Structure 1
Amino acid sequence: MGCGSSSSSGTEPSNKVKNQQDLKLNYDDFKDIDEHARQAPRSVEESIETLAKYLAKPANNDIEVVRALYVWICENIRYDTNAYFGGNLSSLDTSGKGVLTSKSSVYAGYANLFESLCQALDITCKNISGYAKGYGHNLGEIITFSQDTDHAWNAVRLEGVWRFIDTTWGAGYVDKNQEFIKKFNNFYFLTSPENFIYDHFPYFNSNIEESKQWQLLEKPISIEEYAKQIKPSKEARQYGITFSHPDVIIDNSPCTIIVESSAHPFQNCWFDFYNDKGSKCTDAAIMLCADSKECKTTARPQSGGKYTLCLHAKIKDENTTLAEYIINCGTAESNWKPYPNYGGFYGPTLSFTERGFESFCIKPSYTCKDGKFHLSLKTSSTPEVLVQLHDAENIDHKENLMVEQNDTSINIRSRLLTKGYYKLELLSKVDEKYTLASTVLILNTGESDWKPFPKNTGHYGPTPDFTDRGFETSCLNPFMNVQMAIFIFH
């Protein structure tokens, strides 16, 4: 979304780059300023000067002034989708005064209005145009200086620190139906250069050297680097999520992408995996999460081609897309076997220990060579559990499961007859309902001729009143492998 030129009121950027934390932003501190901006009467909209004077009146410093300008523009200016998609941009008045009058514009108008308000208040501001990864941007597409710029934004200098402002994206977004959806967000208010460069690349006056200064980075990147890097969602950047693969296109398969969150736990994680026809290929990828801070997603396409991987998570009670990748697969594995058709993560849920299980007693995945699988879980209480086992074709293998339970542990045994991947789900009762405690991926690498376990609707092992009946707790092993036995109980 850009205007092809740039103007400024103030100095050029300093070579000294400071961190976002230097401004000590706390959005709760802007509550009164935000309310003042949102309650602006129509009478103060007569001119740029009267509006600027009203917005700045209660501010204690320039940061609060700029915050008032940001909030008012985001809340009162609508994106003109008719002009943008109808090809009528040339007839649109994108001057600050024109936008104030019409209450609608495109990217250039948002940036011009913000700049005009800053000029009226002697706030140092730069109007910048360039390339953005917004509406219409295709994942992994090539971007060159021969293309027209497609967006505009601002930079302001506050307390000696340059930061970015994008009131266009702060106001909302354009959906797939080419409709503007008004949705205020804080992310594009005084955004740090390190976060802004993922989806904003400055280029104006056909001057590469002048333009790259306005990346505000110690080491500016090239347009080729900008085009090929991933675009983490604003939520991923806001929460400090890191990615093992910085480039959006991955030219090898299988590949494993690691996503980490050190500050905020993943409450849930999942993925979508599509081929170039848009069909889901969930059986060609898995997500493993050993804890709530790291997720590993492995993609193993069945055949060559171009695939799209979308990574999602729930953080602070909100679902968000973290990032998207293109995976180019040359040739698939010769003995490829599908994963279970499951787009969620393997590993313990966030409430695993709260359900009575000891921490770190379970892993996201296991491998067995002879079809014999045994999982021993330590417990701090006696959770009521239910275990389910399905293969990659979603066939139920409950006859190949046996569950033993005592006061301190739960033992899960299974007999896997064929090679391939299996999904084991451990559920426990919470509030009278069985809900997921952990999911486990099992790879069986060998054929076997194991016989199924006897049918049993409950668990193997002593009942809760076993000792009350006169038996010693250690006198009975729920699982025995014998040819002939004589049982003597003491």
Structure 2
Amino acid sequence: MYRPNFYESTCFRCNEIVYQVDRVGPLKDFTFFHSGCFKCAVCRTKLTLKTYFNNQHYTEDKEVYCSSHVPKIGPGHLDNSSVGIRSALNVPRSNNYVNEQIRGLARNLDNEREYDKVHHLDNSSVGIRSALNVPRSNNYVNEQIRGLARNLDNELSPTRATNGSSVHASPARELRDTPDYQYGRFDASALHIAHALKQTELQKAYHRPKEKPIDCYLDRDEQTKLEMKHRQEEDDLYRKFSKHREEENRRIRDEIQDEWERELERLTNRFQQEMQVKKRRPDSEIGALTLRHQQERADLEKNMTLRRDKKKESLTRKMLEHERAATAALVEKQSHEMMELIQERRSEYAAESSLYVDGEEAPPYPARAPAPQPPLVSKFHIYTDPIEFADVDKIAISVAQEDQKTFTDLVRQLVGRCATDVEKARTIFRWITVKNLNNIQFDDNLRGDSPLGLLRGIKHGTESYHVLFKRLCSYAGLHCVVIKGYSKSAGYQPGVRFEDNRFRNSWNAVFVAGAWRFVQCNWGARHLVNAKDAPKPGNRGKSDSLRYEYDDHYFLTDPREFIYEFYPLQSDWQLLKTPITLHDFEELPFVRSLFFRYGLYFSDPNTKAVMYTDSTGAVTMRIAMPAHMQSSLIFHYNLKFYDTEGDGFDGVSLKRFVMQSVVGNVVSFRVHAPCSGAFLLDIFANAVTPREYLTGEPMKFKSVCKFKICCAELQTVMVPLPDCASGEWGPTKATRLFGLVPITHQEALVFAGRELELQFRMSRPLADFMATLHKNGVDEKRLSKYVQQNVQDDVVSFYITFPEEGQYGLDIYTRERGGPTAIHQNGSVEKEKHLLTHCCKYLINSSKRN
């Protein structure tokens, strides 16, 4: 689902952020509106994309109007200066067809009007649409009219000032007097085609035509030859690593041995001195002294071994950091050389014949890595569903089950059938996520020219996912960089400051679809379903029964979403138009990929990672859902103390101090802290169908976001909510999953007297209703007699009487009438009954005053 840029897309009318479920646009010049703000600027009539109009007189006016109030000029007026064609009207009549076609517009409109009065002209209202479609037998006509885009110079005609402001109000005479002005040059914005031209330019960036495979312009042997040169360099580097490790291990061993001998000598001398003093003492004392010496010697040996291991661990960590840096530097150099070779051969081939299938041309892939810039379009414009890469993913999965001896062979198998740079990056990404490199079993005597020798960097720990991805991209002719920074990875909790190296991380940006785009292979890698049945290398017998799971969010992730989890050390590599600070990054809500996969967003722009309660200990977090997910998303939560694993207070679960409710497309979590301190709120979600929910099968929830809740001071004693079933309060769930529509009470919180009647209307058959009443400190069985129910036609009624004033919780359960069909062994067929499933719950405050 498309999500507009949270940082850049704001409503033209109210200047607030526009979210995808409430968005209208983009309109001309990429303006957006909230659906509620999309009203006529004059009469405030609500508009739609079919009923809105723009100012026909002044093209810089981005407001919207209804048909009655859109600024218009009297009928028959032609404003040839506002559309920039006065000069075209004055072109010498060297070609009667062209001039008559344009000049005739005015005569056909109104002979009684002068041409220099204000009026709007577009290609349909003034009859030049047919001219746009004239056969190319007259080049002058077509080039003059069709050439609008080519004559705009990046969408700015000579009628635009150098600072980007429009000068449409300038008289046409002044334009003609401009030295470099050309006759017949149209003003694209006045003709209302600037937006279309801009869209065309954007489309050129990511809708690239299919390109011929690398085999067409680069000989496999030539690429392999360069790879062998690189492998020799790697061999030299690994020998250097091995030699350095041996030297350092020997040095530590010698240091520990010298220290051991000194400490042992000191211990022995002390023992001998004590023996001299006690040699006339009883044998029992001498024996005790000997045992003590032996124990001290054993302790010394143990301590020296621990010290040696600790030193080796520290040294190994430092050496590994050095080796990783050296390996990354070498891969950087080799990738540059490989890219130069590919680009050189590519250019040579392009000079002789077309690189593209069917002869369709496109902007050439850059020979040099471009500077980091925000992408012009979102991931949604490149692909809307991973299923679009089904064939490419199959190739990656198939190749991952085989072994290759060279990167040249590996990459050509991966990208040989890929037609675009996006597909190339995709198949490399999927190969890495499928390969499950962390679980590969390496032979200790691994040779560099063996199939697994390709991944020896993974074995030695000197090469990681992102370095390998960069290497493979270079073999495919793709620019790729490794970005270093911080990430909200395992162990991170909201509110933690990035003051040390605990959360340092690396990831990639690859240049595809005309822009730099993020790839995080390590986080994108998932597991193999039925992994115990995974086929061995070369054995593809069981491959059809396996399913490879991965996280698509981390492939070409949009910068506005990536910044929630990753912060680069170089601000340019945020790829945001307005970079944020590290402090801003720390304050961003702690979200996971599932948050974006479900299209969630925070309806309150002030939502931060750390939320502070008011004087009553209350604070609310609100998460909005897209329209298409409202019927399927189920939320859950957990509350515990921030610094401990404790999840209870005075014997009561902390969950009972959170009220979850849904109103429209917003799910709210109202937290009432039971005491001062810090708490951790973890919010989970899962997408299920009503049918899946009604079966009563356990559902697996995954975390979508976390918050730190801080309560500095509590001035009110908080009472836990009644002990009802977990989940949201209110009737929304009943309507969403059961088709049970509330007639009397639409809110989660109900104020009642000593009696209450709740009514629902069934939109589909339900049966066997049950309601249970709860109150703190009162046995549930004792309250059962105070609840009754009745079903009349399609109306369900619940009657509750309250034995005393106070706060109550009401749980309602039901199940669908009928159910799935079960076929028994004896051949009999019967309808299975669903178990009663929780439908909804209400929080009721009973008082005589109500």
- In the TM superposition, residue 132 of structure 1 has moved relative to its aligned partner by 0.9
Equivalent of 2:756, from 363, 373, 384? 373
Q: Secondary structure at the match of 1:240?
A: coil
Counterpart residue identity of residue 132, structure 1: S
Q: 2:813 touches 2:840 (CA, 8 Å); kept in 1?
A: yes
Q: Which structure 2 residues correspond to residues 10-89 of structure 1 after superposition, within 5 A? A: 10-15=369-374, 17-40=376-399, 45-79=404-438
Tell whether 2:510 aligns with 1:156.
Answer: yes
Q: Alpha-carbon deviation of 1:329?
A: 1.2
AA in 1 matched with 2:520: D
Instruction: Give the Cα–Cα distance (whole angstroms) in 2 for the partners of residues 61 and 152 of structure 1.
Output: 26
TM-score (norm 2): 0.45
Change (3 A) 1:365 1:350: closer
Please name the residue that 1:87 is paired with. Answer: none
In the alignment, structure 1 residue 113 sits paired with structure 2 residue 472: no
Deviations 1:36-77 (A, max 9, x none): 122227876323222222211111111111111101112224
Question: Does the aligned pair in 1 maintain the 2:466–2:482 contact within 8 Å?
Answer: yes
Give the SS at the match of 2:703.
strand
Which stretch shifts more, 299-308 or 430-439?
430-439
Structure 1 residue 437, shift from structure 2 partner: 2.3
Tell me, in whole angstroms, the C-alpha distance in 2 between the residues paired with 1:73 and 1:436.
Answer: 43
1:288 paired with 2:652, answer no
Q: Which residue of 1 aligns with 2:841?
A: 439
How do residues 54-453 of structure 1 correspond to structure 2 at under 5 angstroms?
Answer: 54-79=413-438, 100-101=455-456, 103-104=458-459, 109-144=464-499, 147=501, 150-172=504-526, 184-203=550-569, 211-243=570-602, 244=604, 246-252=607-613, 253-262=617-626, 263-265=628-630, 266-276=632-642, 277-280=644-647, 281-290=654-663, 293-316=665-688, 319-342=701-724, 343-348=726-731, 350=733, 352=735, 355=738, 357-358=740-741, 362-368=745-751, 370-380=753-763, 383-384=766-767, 385-393=769-777, 395-396=779-780, 397-430=783-816, 431=819, 432=833, 433-444=835-846
Aligned 8 A contact 1:337 1:420 in 2: no
How many residues are treated as equivalent by the alignment?
Answer: 417
Per-residue CA deviations over 1:425-454 (Å, capped at 9, x if unaligned) read 222232444322222122335699xxxxxx
1:372-400 superposed Cα distances (whole Å, 9 cap, x missing partner): 33323334577442221111346321222
Deviations 1:4-49 (A, max 9, x none): 8996961112355422222124311222221212222787632322
Change (3 A) 1:436 1:394: farther
- 8 Å CA contact 1:392, 1:423 repeated in 2: no
Q: What SS does structure 1 have at the residue aligned with 2:577?
A: coil
SS in 1 for 2:706: strand
1:386 maps to a residue whose letter is: M
Q: CA deviation at 1:110?
A: 1.1
> Distance in 2 between the 1:114 and 1:193 partners?
19
1:446 & 1:51 partners in 2: Cα distance?
78
Structure having greater relative contact order (Cα 8 Å, sep ≥ 6): 1
- Equivalents in 2 of 1:199, 1:304: separation in Å? 29
Aligned partners of 2:681 and 2:707 also within 8 Å: yes
Greater strand share, structure number: 1
Alpha-carbon distance in structure 1 between the residues aligned to 2:583 and 2:793: 60
1:279 counterpart letter in structure 2: G
For 2:784, the aligned partner's letter is K
Shift of 1:119: 1.3
Counterpart position of 2:826: none
Write the distance in 2 (CA, Å) between the matches of 1:333 and 1:373: 32
Preserved contact between residue 403 and residue 413 of structure 1 (Cα < 8 Å): yes
Distance 1:241 1:107, change over 3 A: farther
Question: For structure 2, which runs of at least 5 residues remain unmatched after alignment?
Answer: 1-320, 337-368, 442-447, 528-547, 648-653, 690-699, 820-832
Distance 1:434 1:57, change over 3 A: same
Letter in 1 for 2:629: H
Alpha-carbon separation, structure 1, partners of 2:759 and 2:720: 27
Secondary structure in structure 1 of the residue aligned to 2:426:
helix
My pick for the range that moved more, 435-444 or 340-349, is 340-349
CA distance in 1, matches of 2:402, 2:763: 66
User: d(CA) in 1 for partners of 2:460 and 2:802?
Assistant: 63
Contact 1:364 1:441 in 2 (8 A): no
The answer (yes or no) to whether the contact 2:488–2:503 under 8 Å persists in 1 is no
1:283–1:341 Cα contact (<8 Å) kept: yes
Q: Which residue of 1 aligns with 2:38?
A: none
* Greater helix content: 2
Cα deviation code 1:83-109 (max 9, x no counterpart): xxxxxxxxxx9xxx9872355576962
Q: For residues 389 and 52 of structure 1, do their structure 2 counterparts lie closer, same or farther at Cα, with a shift above 3 Å needed?
A: same
In the alignment, which residue of structure 1 is the partner of 2:247?
none
Offset at residue 303 of structure 1 (A): 1.0
Identify if the C-alpha distance between structure 1 residues 50 and 99 changes in structure 2 by more than 3 Å, giving closer, same or farther: closer
Residue identity opposite 2:411 in structure 1: A
Gaps of at least 5 residues in structure 1 are 83-92, 174-181, 204-210, 449-490
Identical aligned pairs, as a percentage?
A: 19
**Mapped partners of 1:50, 1:380: distance in 2:** 60
In the alignment, the residues of structure 1 paired with residue 490 and residue 583 of structure 2 have an alpha-carbon distance, to the nearest angstrom, of 20
Q: Is the 8 A contact 1:17 1:217 kept in 2?
A: no
Once the two structures are TM-superposed, the CA of residue 142 in structure 1 deviates from its matched residue by 0.5
Distance 2:456 2:440 in 1: 17
Give the Cα–Cα distance (whole angstroms) in 1 for the partners of residues 437 and 742 of structure 2.
50
Please provide the CA RMSD for this pair: 3.3
Once residues 608 and 431 of structure 2 are traced to their aligned partners in structure 1, the CA distance between those partners, rounded to angstroms, is 36
| Shift, 1:324, TM fit | 0.8
2:113 alignment partner in structure 1: none
Point out the structure with max Rg over C-alpha. 2
Moved more, 349-358 or 238-247: 349-358
